[in-house]
C-alpha cells in the first residue's frame, strides 16, 4: 500500500479526537459499518479493501497515475462533463480561494491481482465562509467489469475521510457534501446518504432545484464557452453533517462551487472584455440557481429515489 507509515499513530489520534466531536466522522463510521467490504484501516483514508475474494488498494493517485484515472472519467462520463487533462492536473495542484488552498483529491482503486486502476473518484473541499466548508464530488467512474464490488461507494467514503481531515487541519467544520448524479447513478449515491434537492411548489407538488455545471472550456479571444463545452444541467445531491440544509447554506455552497470553476484570471484571456464575458457566465449561473432555489416558498427537502417513489404512491408529484 502507498501509505507513509511514520504518521499513522498521529493520524489515528487526530481521527479519534475528531470522531468524538464531529458529525461528519459519525457519518463516515456509519458508511463503514454498512459497507459490504472489509477494510484494513478504519481510521485512514488509504486502505486495502476485500470483497467476494477480491482485494483492492485504495489510495490517492501518484502523478504518473493521473492520466489513467482521467481516461477512466472520459470513458464513462459525457465529453462536456470532463475537463482537459492539463486543467485537471492544474486543479490537482490547486489554487488559493477565500484564503484556503483548494485542490482536487484524486482517489483510485487498484485491483491487487492485476495491479490495474479499476475505479477513481475526484473531489475538492472548499470554504463557504464562517468557518464552514463543503466537499464537492466532481468525478467518479468504475470499469464496467468491476461495478459489482461497490467501489464507487468505498472511494467516496475514503474521499470524505480525507476531506474531514483537511477541514480539521484548516480549522473548519465540514458541514455539507454535494455532487451531481444521473438517473442511472442516483441509487448508488443514495447509499452514501446523498439525496436530490427539492422545494415544494404546492400542497402536492415538488420541483427539483435546477443546477447547471459550468462550462469547462472558454475561447481566449471572446470569453465565451467553446461550442462543445457548454453548461450542463445536472441533478444536484446533498448530505449534511450535524445541521439542517437551508436555502442560504445551499446557495453559499453553490457560490463556492462556481468560485472554484470560475477562477481563471485576466491572463487567461486576450482582452479585458473577454474576461468580463467569462465572469458573466458564472454570474448568470448563480442568478439562475437562486431563482430556481427560491421558486417555491417552502423549505428545502431532500429525497432519495425510494423516498420519491413512496411519495408518488401517496399522490405527490415531482417536476
Q: What is the pLDDT of residues 4-45, one digit of tens each?
A: 444 555 556 555 655 555 899 999 999 999 999 999 977 899
Selected residue with higher pLDDT from 136 and 296? 136
Q: What is the pLDDT of residues 113-154, one digit of tens each?
A: 999 999 999 999 999 988 999 999 999 999 999 999 999 999
Q: What is the pLDDT of residues 43-63, one digit of tens each?
A: 899 999 999 999 999 999 999
289 closest CA partner among 245, 246, 247, 240: 247
Instruction: Kindly give, in sequence order, each residue whose CB lies less than 8 Å from that of residue 53, ignoring residues fewer than 6 positions away.
Output: none
Per-residue pLDDT, 176: 96
pLDDT band of residue 1 (cuts 50, 70, 90) is very low
Q: What is the pLDDT of residues 196-228, one digit of tens each?
A: 999 999 999 999 999 999 999 999 999 999 877
Dmax over Cα atoms in the chain, in whole Å? Answer: 59
Q: Is the pTM of this model over 0.85?
A: yes
* CATH superfamily to which 9-318 belongs: Gcn5-related N-acetyltransferase (GNAT) (3.40.630.30)
Does residue 3 surpass a pLDDT of 50?
no
Q: What is the pLDDT of residues 263-295, one digit of tens each?
A: 999 999 999 999 999 999 999 999 999 999 998
Per-residue pLDDT, 227: 77
Q: What is the mean pLDDT of residues 90-111?
A: 93
Q: How far is CA 304 from CA 307, 308, 310, 311, in A?
A: 5, 6, 10, 11
Q: What is the rounded distance in angstroms from the CA atom of residue 96 to the CA atom of residue 249?
A: 21
163 closest CA partner among 109, 93, 108, 105: 105
Per-residue pLDDT, 126: 95
Per-residue pLDDT, 5: 46
Contact 158, 106 (CB under 8 A): no
Q: What is the mean pLDDT of residues 144-172?
A: 95
Does residue 82 surpass a pLDDT of 50?
yes
Count of CB atoms within 10 A of residue 195's CB?
Answer: 22
Share of residues in the chain with pLDDT > 70 (%): 92
Please classify residue 247 by burial: count the beta carbons closer than 10 Å to its beta carbon, then call 0-12 exposed, 13-18 middle and 19+ buried.
middle
Per-residue pLDDT, 8: 54
Amino acid at each position: 500500500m502507498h501509505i507513509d507509515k511514520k504518521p499513522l499513530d498521529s493520524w489515528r489520534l487526530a481521527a479519534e479526537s475528531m470522531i468524538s466531536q464531529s458529525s461528519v466522522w459519525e457519518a463516515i463510521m456509519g458508511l463503514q459499518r454498512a459497507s459490504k467490504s472489509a477494510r484494513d484501516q478504519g481510521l485512514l483514508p488509504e486502505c486495502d479493501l476485500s470483497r467476494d475474494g477480491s482485494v483492492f488498494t485504495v489510495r490517492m493517485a501518484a502523478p504518473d497515475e493521473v492520466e489513467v484515472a482521467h481516461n477512466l472519467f472520459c470513458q464513462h462520463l459525457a465529453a462536456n462533463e470532463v475537463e482537459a487533462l492539463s486543467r485537471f492536473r492544474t486543479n490537482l495542484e490547486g489554487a488559493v480561494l477565500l484564503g484556503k488552498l483548494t485542490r482536487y483529491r484524486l482517489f483510485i482503486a487498484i485491483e491487487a491481482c492485476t495491479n490495474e486502476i479499476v475505479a477513481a473518484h475526484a473531489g475538492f473541499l472548499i470554504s463557504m465562509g464562517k468557518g464552514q466548508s463543503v466537499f464537492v464530488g466532481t468525478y467518479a467512474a468504475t470499469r464496467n467489469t468491476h461495478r459489482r464490488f461497490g467501489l464507487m461507494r468505498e472511494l467516496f467514503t475514503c474521499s470524505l475521510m480525507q476531506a474531514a481531515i483537511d477541514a480539521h487541519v484548516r480549522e473548519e467544520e465540514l458541514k455539507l457534501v454535494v455532487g451531481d448524479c444521473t438517473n442511472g447513478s442516483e441509487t448508488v449515491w443514495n447509499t452514501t446518504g446523498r439525496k436530490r434537492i427539492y422545494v415544494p411548489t404546492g400542497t402536492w407538488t415538488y420541483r427539483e432545484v435546477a443546477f447547471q455545471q459550468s462550462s469547462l472550456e472558454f475561447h481566449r479571444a471572446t470569453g465565451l464557452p467553446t461550442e462543445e463545452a457548454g453548461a450542463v444541467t445536472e441533478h444536484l445531491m446533498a448530505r449534511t453533517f450535524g445541521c439542517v440544509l437551508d436555502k442560504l447554506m445551499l446557495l453559499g455552497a453553490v457560490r463556492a462551487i462556481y468560485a472554484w470553476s470560475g477562477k481563471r484570471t485576466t491572463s487567461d484571456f486576450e482582452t479585458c472584455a473577454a474576461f468580463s464575458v467569462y465572469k458573466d457566465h458564472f454570474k448568470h449561473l448563480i442568478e439562475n440557481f437562486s431563482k430556481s432555489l427560491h421558486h417555491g416558498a417552502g423549505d428545502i427537502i431532500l429525497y432519495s429515489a425510494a423516498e420519491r417513489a413512496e411519495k408518488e404512491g401517496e399522490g405527490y408529484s415531482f417536476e
